[in-house]
Structures are given as structure tokens and as C-alpha cells.
A and B are shown apart, each in its own frame.
Chain A
Amino acid sequence: MTRLVAQIESLSAASSSGVLLDLSAVVMLLCAFACLGSKLFDRYVTYYAIQSIVLAFAAAVVGHALGQPDLWVLAVATLLIKGIAIPLATRRFLLDRLELHRDVAISTGLSTSLILGAALTTFAFLAIRPATLPHALVASAVVPISTAIILLGGLCMVVRRHTIAQLIGWLILENGVFLGAITLTATFPFIVEAGVFLDLVAAVLIMITFVSGLANRLATASAPELRGLRD
């Protein structure tokens, strides 16, 4: 156990793994911002795919630094499922089939969302200072950044009213959680992480089915039309 703690501490210093991890986290944050500032469905999916591939890289870095083989498995699964399969499925079954291009169902302007996003990122850094994290176990920037990604994903879900944009927002949020998970709790039991992953895949499958079902029922699945159930 103490060996493990020592290893985790090696991540926190200016070691090369720590730097790589910080760098990946920053790229992931930028992807979330890019998604927030875009209006094309195709771009959302692309940015999500890039973010997932970087997440896979980050998982591999942590796995390498800590010598945890299960993190390697997780990295490969992330790459294959989040980086390739989910973006492909979203493109083929939703974007191409429903012929979706521009997202018009945005409740705030792009610049406003970006400013809100910046405010949330600042908030994340203020709220999760490294000081609140005991023992300085992790690369200090990663936890606030993953919190910021979670908040940005949530913001995407709130300001976008199109079902696909909400789906991507949730996936970005989930990526933020995973980034936090691999660094904050690198020793998380593998079986649980595998279960979390399975749930994610099942959720995406069901959501894709619902979106295409909704799109068949309504001419477009954009949420302004989802007004049937109101109080």
C-alpha cells in the first residue's frame, strides 16, 4: 500500500507523467470549450471523439506511471468505445440518417455560452483548490480541470435543447468524471470501473434508440417541439 502511495505521489511532482497528464487534461478542457462554441452537429461529435482519445491517452499515462495494468485495459476500452464506436454510431445512426447539420435550438448565443463556460471554469478552480485535496496526491491541475469539464458538459446540456446536443453534453460530462476518476482514485477497483463503462455503453445505445424514435415521431427531434409535457 505504501508503495502505491509513493507511486501516486510521483504523479504529483513535475515528473514527465504528471506533465503529460496535466497537458491531456488541458486539451480535454479545450475540446469541451470547442464543443460549447460550435453550432454544427458534426463538430460536436468530432470534438467529443478527440476528447475521448486524449482521455484514453491520459488513462494510459496514469497506468504506466502507477504500473496498473487495469488502467491500460481501461485506456484501450476508452479508445475503442468512446473514441471510435460512439462517434461512429452517432454519425451513422443519427446525423446521417436524420440529415442533421446545424444546431438551431440553442437558447443562448455562442459568445454567452463561452463566457458562462469561462465563469464555470473559474469557479471550478476556486472551489477545488489543491488545498482542499488532502495529501496532494494528484497532479494538482487535473482535479479542478475535470470538475470544469463536468460543469461544461452540464452547461452544454442546459443551453442546447436538441436531443443530440444534450447527449453529447452528457458524454462530455462523463469524460470529465472519468478524468477525475483515473487521477483522484487511480486504485478504484477494476470491476466497478468496468461496470461503469458497461452502463455508459448501454445508456448511449438506449439514448440513440430514443433519439431516432423521437425523430421518427416528430418531424425533428429538436426540443422546442418537446412541449407536450409541461406543467
Chain B
Amino acid sequence: MTALVALVPVLPLLAAFAPLAGLRARGLGLAIAATGVGALACAIAVAVDVGRHGAYEAFAGFLYVDALSTFFTITIALVVTLAGVGSIAYLRTEERRHELDLLQVRLYTIFFALFAGLMLASLETGNLGLLWVLIEASTLASAVLVGLEAKARSLEAAWKYIIISSFGVTMALVATLFLYYAATPLVLLSPNQRLTWPALFAHAHLLEHDSLRLAFLLAVIGYGTKVGLAPMHTWLPDAHSEAPSPASAMLSAALLNTGMYAIIRFQAIALPELGRYTNRVLLVFGFASILIGALFMVRRGNFKRLFAYSSVEHMGIISVALGFGGVLGVYGALLHTLNHAIGKCVLFLTSGELVQRWRTRETREVSGALTAAPLVGGVLLLGSLAIVGSPPFGLFLSEFTIIRAGFRGSSLLAFLLLALLVIAFIAFMRGTAGMATGEQHPVDDETTASVSAASAIPLVAGLAALLLLGLWIPSGLNDLILHSIGAIR
């Protein structure tokens, strides 16, 4: 079992050694994708085992996998797989056009692998200190990806990203220290156990009140910077728009969720002692994010920024769902995490196709995608419909669940959420519908060539998965989410 659990992060890390084999863009892309598939398979195997035998712990809690971690591991591994397959097409095109030299392609592979592996590893540790270390390390790896194209703009975005998230994550370190300090009354535990999630969770009601409150607030602010909760979201649109598109997909669909995972863990520890206070904090940050996300989506401009603000909005929705709380709220939050991850991954990969064809990131310079490239345009349109939460896609179901959870508590907040979702819907569709429809802009002769298999597979597979999740939740997934809720209550 230890080997299987360890394989999940180790497999993607192996791709970091692929450049040593002297592979070029195509081979390197294939290596990333293949290790992603392997990680996904292992993650599912681990989930099945955890579902049968319960949480698995080894090395004094440094390795700890329960249902919640397996749920997030599967989500992230899925994103890594989709983005990995997308990387094949991205790297080949950029190499053919000499936009990236061989060194940059190799750096991309190494840091993509590190990014993926460290994120998956962070989900499999029960030690909150190690969780911090791994999340910070994955941030650093992703910052290199953001600055990879080494233009002034991408370096600037990377700088902004690294300095803001380092600041934020340092706050999360302070939170971890205060949590450790809050555990001082637990004199029977060893110092190591006082930092280990299962032990802390089991004794949550004994934690020292003031330190715990400080720890929780700082954790929401610190990890919230990673999640992109407003007002700590300012790095997010820049980093997402300047990163290579598969890396944007990883940032939006995987990195943000890793931050949210950390917040969920902290909330579970803080809940018995602080009670409704934790929910109120998450509601405030959640609504602020939805508001900021929806308002900035109204601006037309760079479409990758549009998608990025949509991520801010969706992270806000997840945070609000956690704030509503209860089984229904958490269920909605987790389901929404999975749906949003797939949907945003598809959209960012589509944006990569658009950028490579039109060579622009401006919304108004792209039009007629449906006629120019029916597959890309179609996925753009359907993916946008999915991400704004229209039926029959999965996000409709999860947003519906969240709103239902809201009505159980305060219907005022539920109505507010509904109103904001409508604004977001209009703002987002106004941007992307214009890109998909309309007159076809003159584009380069070479770029109108049909979509390669490597870029088509993740788009179609992701969209199909979203459709499936909108119509039917597999019983295995249902059990997994229910077990995850069980693990944190």
C-alpha cells in the first residue's frame, strides 16, 4: 500500500528525468502525459483501497491518506493527465514555430513534472508542516512555468505571482505555527503528533481557543492567497494569462484546489472549538471573491484573464459552499471542485488552441471560431456553457446543490449567490459567445489546419466527463464524496 500511495506523486516526478534521455518536444510531452495517466490509475487504486479499509497512515503521519485526500488526488491527477496530453500539442507547436528553444522545452517538462508531483504529494501527507512545505514548493515550480516564455510580460507576471504568493504562503506558515502552539495543551502527544492532522482532528475540542482562532484566520488568508480568494487574488489573472496554456490549466484546476484542500483541513480542525465562526469567515471571503470575479468578467479584454476571473468566482462559490456547511454544503463544494477542475482545464486548453491559431489573447480579435475550427469553437462554446453552470453539465448540478444548501440556512444569502451567478453567467457568455460565433477573422493559412489528436483528446474527453457528471453521478464517486465528508466531520 505504501508503494502504491507513493507512486501517485512519484510517477509524475519521473517525467522530470525525461530530458536526460535526450527526448525532444514530442517525446517530452508524451512522457508528461504517460506519467499523468499512471498517477491517475494509482490514485484511483488508492481510493478503492481507502474506501474498503479506511484511512491509511505510515511514517508517523507523514504519509496519511483518507477519503478526502483521495478525492483531491483523483481530481488533481485527472487535471495533470488532461493538461499533460494538452502539453504534447503545445510543446510541438511551440517548437515548430521556434517560440521556445530546446532548453525552454526541457525546463517546461522538468517544472511541470515537479509542479504535478509536489501537488499530489501535498495531498498525501497528514503532517501540516510538510503540507506547507510541499504547497510552497509547488508554488515555486509553477512560478517558473509562468515565467517560462521569458518575455517582459510573463516575467512580470511570474514576479508578481511569486512575491504575492510567497507572502501569502508565509502567512500560512505562521498559521501552522499557531496551530502547533494551540496544541500545547495536548501534553500527551509527541511534538510530531501535535502537527499531524488525525491527532489534531481527534483532539480538536481541546485546542487552545485564541491561538486556534488566529491560526484559522491566518490559514484562510495564507492558503486563500493560493486559492485566489478576494482580496488576495491579484496575482491570479496575471499568472493565468501569461503562463503557457496547459500550465494555466494546471494553475486554475489543480493549484487552486490544493490551497482549498488545506483550508478544508484547517476548517475541520477549527470547527469543534470555533463553531459557526469558521463558516462566517469562509462566507465573507467567498462572497467577496464571487463579487470581484463577476465584476471583472464584465470587462472585455484578454480572454485568458476572463477565464482566470471565472476561477476566482468559482473558488468563491466553493468557499461559500463550505461556509454554508452541513453535509449538503460540503457535498456541493467537493462536487463543484471536481466539475470546475475539469471544466476549467478544458477551457484553458481551448484557450491555448485559440492563442496558437489567432496569436492573440484579446477577446475582440477572435471571432468565428466555430467556422474556422469547428472542434475548438464548439468546445469553447459548450465549455463556456458548462462553466457558467447551465444544464446539462456537471456544474449545474453542483451549483444547484450549493444553492439548496444555502436555502437550508439563510435564504437571503442563497438569493445573493443566485444573483451573482446570473451576473457571472451574462458576463462570461458575452465574452466567449462572440469569439465562437460571428464572421471568421482572417487567420494564418498554416494555422487553420485541423486539430491534432493530442489537442483534441483532452478537450473532448473533458467535455464528455462534464456532461456525464451532469446527468449521472457514478455511485463510486458518490461514495467517495460521502466518505470524504465523513473524514472531516
Q: A residues within 8 Å of B by Cβ?
A: 1-2, 5, 132-135, 137, 150, 154, 157, 163, 166-167, 170, 173-174, 177, 180-181, 184-185, 187-189, 191-193, 195-196, 198-199, 202-203, 206-207, 210-211, 213-214, 217-218, 226, 228-229, 231
Contacts and interface: CB of A to CB of B under 8 A. Distances in A.
Contacts of A210: 143, 147, 155, 158-159, 162
Given A163-B163, A203-B162, A206-B162, 17 more contacts: A137-B184, A166-B163, A177-B173, A185-B180, A189-B129, A192-B130, A193-B129, A195-B133, A196-B136, A196-B173, A199-B137, A199-B140, A207-B162, A214-B155, A226-B159, A226-B160, A228-B156
Nearest to B133: A195
Interface of B: 62, 127, 129-130, 132-134, 136-137, 140, 143-144, 147, 150-153, 155-160, 162-163, 166-167, 170, 173-174, 177-178, 180-181, 184-185, 187-188, 190-192, 195, 208, 210-211, 237-238, 241-242, 296, 299
A185 B157 CA distance: 35
Given A184-B177, A184-B181, A192 B133 contact: yes
Contacts of B134: 195
A18 to B, nearest CB: 18
In the A-B complex, the 4 residue pairs with the smallest Cβ-Cβ separation, listed nearest first, are: A192-B129, A195-B133, A187-B191, A217-B152
Contacts of B132: 192, 196
Given A189-B127, A228-B152, A180 B163 contact: no
A203 B140 contact: yes
A2 B178 CA distance: 20
A170 B165 CA distance: 11
Contact of B174 (A1, A150, A217): A150
Contacts of A231: 237, 296, 299
A205 to B, nearest CB: 9
Contact of B188 (A1, A173, A188): A1
B313 to A, nearest CB: 15
Nearest to A217: B152
B129 A177 contact: no
B194 to A, nearest CB: 8
Contact of B143 (A150, A154, A180, A206): A206
A202 B137 contact: yes
Given A137-B184, A199-B136, A206-B144, A229 B238 contact: yes
B143 A177 contact: no
Contacts of A206: 140, 143-144, 162
Contacts of B170: 150, 170, 173-174, 177
Nearest to B165: A203
A134 B211 CA distance: 9
Contact of B133 (A1, A199, A207): A199
Contact of B191 (A134, A163, A180, A189): A189
Residue of B62, B158, B170 with most chain A CB atoms under a 10 A cut-off: B170
A188 B195 contact: yes
Contact of A217 (B140, B155, B192, B210): B155
Nearest to B192: A189
A217 B151 contact: yes
A183 to B, nearest CB: 10
26 contacts: A1-B188, A132-B210, A134-B184, A150-B174, A154-B167, A163-B163, A181-B177, A188-B177, A188-B195, A189-B192, A192-B130, A192-B132, A192-B133, A195-B129, A198-B133, A199-B136, A199-B140, A207-B159, A210-B162, A211-B159, A217-B155, A226-B156, A229-B153, A229-B160, A231-B237, A231-B299
B146 to A, nearest CB: 10
B158 A157 contact: no
A210 B145 CA distance: 12
Contacts of B192: 189
Contacts of A189: 127, 129, 191-192, 195
Contacts of B136: 196, 199, 203
A65 B127 CA distance: 27
B174 A196 contact: no
Contacts of B144: 206
Contacts of B129: 188-189, 192-193, 195-196
Contacts of A217: 150-152, 155
A108 to B, nearest CB: 19
A231 B230 CA distance: 15
Nearest to A1: B187
Of B155, B158, B190, chain A has the most CB atoms within 10 Å of the CB of: B155
Residue among A1, A167, A192 facing the most chain B CB atoms (10 A cut-off): A192
B195 A170 contact: no
A181 to B, nearest CB: 6
A7 B296 CA distance: 54
A25 to B, nearest CB: 16
A174 B169 CA distance: 11
A210 B152 CA distance: 10
Contacts of A173: 167, 170
Contacts of A214: 152, 155-156, 159
B133 A196 contact: yes
A177 B137 contact: no
Contacts of A187: 191
Contacts of B152: 214, 217-218, 228
B155 A177 contact: no
Given A177-B173, A203-B140, A229-B153, A185 B181 contact: yes
Contacts of B242: 229
Contact of A185 (B159, B177, B187): B177
A22 to B, nearest CB: 19
Contacts of A228: 152-153, 156
A213 B190 CA distance: 46
A171 to B, nearest CB: 10
B187 A157 contact: no
B184 A229 contact: no
Of listed A187, A210, A211, residue having the most chain B CB within 10 A:
A210
Given A134-B211, A196-B132, A210-B147, A163 B162 contact: no
Contacts of A226: 156, 159-160
A214 to B, nearest CB: 5
Contacts of B195: 188-189, 192
